[in-house]
Amino acid sequence: MIKTIEKTDGTSAGESGISLRDLRSFVAVVRAGGVTRAARDLGYAQATLSARIAALESAIGVPLLEPGRRNAVLTEAGRTVLARGELLLGEAAALQREARSTAGHTTVRIAACEPVATYRLPPIVAAFARLHPRVDVELQVAGHVKGPALVEAGEVAFAIGPKPVPTRRAARLAFGPLYDEHMLVLLPKRHRLASAKSVALAELNGESLLVGSDVCAYRALVVGAMQESDVDVALRVRFGDGATLAHGVAAGLGVAVLPEGFFLHGSLAPGIVARPLRRPPIAIGIGLIELRPPQTGDPASPFRRAILEGLRGLAG
């Protein structure tokens, strides 16, 4: 027997329309196997996803997931909604594309990690927009976990970032290397190494190191290199983005190692200097992440070519 959900305002469930946003969240949770993993993949708060699932169940009027189960276990109704919902989301996306195409417009959605999204892509997007005024570009800032997840879910045409971590889901993705993002050491201007032309990793032994969040690919790369080189640092403060981290260095909280892309055009925070790593040099490979095999006749293809040409010029 299917239990009907009763709404707290006295109205019957199902009277309000089904939100595509809530439906998309439901599909993402089922694909990921639970709210926790889906929230991590998409970069959302768990409470946000849980609220969207609850809103969808309220709109439909029946439970879609078995209550009290750690993983996303579908009810009978949930299986029906999943199958029809995926078709509906595909039709909604196609409807939007066709409507915009009729009006002469196309929208290309992509994702990119920092600092690519903030510093590398804007000039490329600007040049593309001048040549293709009827193509709208939507860019999401997404790290090395969220970016591939958005591609796999079909929410973006492609992503730009580090090579995805090998998983069963990532097997559907192709990675095409573009360039290497080299790392710089950020130091307060009064630091003992500030006058050096370059810095060896060993010279940071004993320093307080400012790092990104636990899911930051750059953090994993830097900390791993230090462990391999037996460099002992104190991980004192974590920051959510590179620009904030740089201001932490300027405030005297410690030193940092960040991609050079954060500091293009001399965009250093006041009070700090950036020096290249002399030994060993550290770099992370940045590439284009897309579904395997690539979509044929994809309206994103011209923009994809512009991205490849612009970022491959950074190689070497």
Which domains does the chain show, CATH number per domain?
20-98 (1.10.10.10), 103-175+288-312 (3.40.190.10), 180-284 (3.40.190.10)
> Which of 148, 114, 124, 145 lies closest to 259 in space, CA to CA?
114
Tell me what the pLDDT averaged over the chain comes to: 82
From 22, 88, 78, select the one nearest 55 (Cα to Cα): 22
The answer to whether residue 203 scores a pLDDT higher than 70 is yes
Out of 2-11, 200-209, 217-226, 263-272, give the one with best mean pLDDT. 200-209
Q: What value does the CA radius of gyration of the chain take, rounded to a whole number of Å?
A: 23
- The Cα 292–Cα 304 span in angstroms is 15
Write out the two tokens for 143: 């790290």
Listed in sequence order, the DSSP H helices in the chain are 20-32, 35-42, 46-60, 76-102, 121-131, 146-152, 217-228, 242-250, 301-312
Residue 95, by phi and psi: left (phi above 0), alpha (psi -120 to 50) or beta? alpha
User: 242 falls in which pLDDT band (50, 70, 90)?
Assistant: confident
pLDDT band, very low/low/confident/very high, at 288 (cuts 50, 70, 90): very high
The continuous run of DSSP H or E covering 257 comes out as strand 256-259
Assess whether pLDDT exceeds 90 at residue 187: yes
pLDDT surpasses 70 at 6: no
Give the phi and the psi of residue 212 in degrees, each rounded to 5.
-85, -170
Q: Which residues contact 18 (CB under 8 A, 6 or more apart)?
A: 56, 59, 60
Share of residues in the chain with pLDDT > 90 (%):
16
> Which one has a higher pLDDT value, 219 or 68?
219
Q: Is pLDDT of 17 > 80? A: no
C-beta of residue 303 within 8 angstroms of C-beta of residue 128: yes
For residue 256, give every residue at least 6 positions away whose Cβ sits within 8 Å of its Cβ, in sequence order, or none.
185, 186, 209, 210, 211, 245, 246, 248, 249
Q: How far, in Å, are 158, 167, 189, 286, 296 from residue 21 at the CA level? A: 20, 26, 48, 30, 27
Tokens representing residue 286 in the block: 């940045």
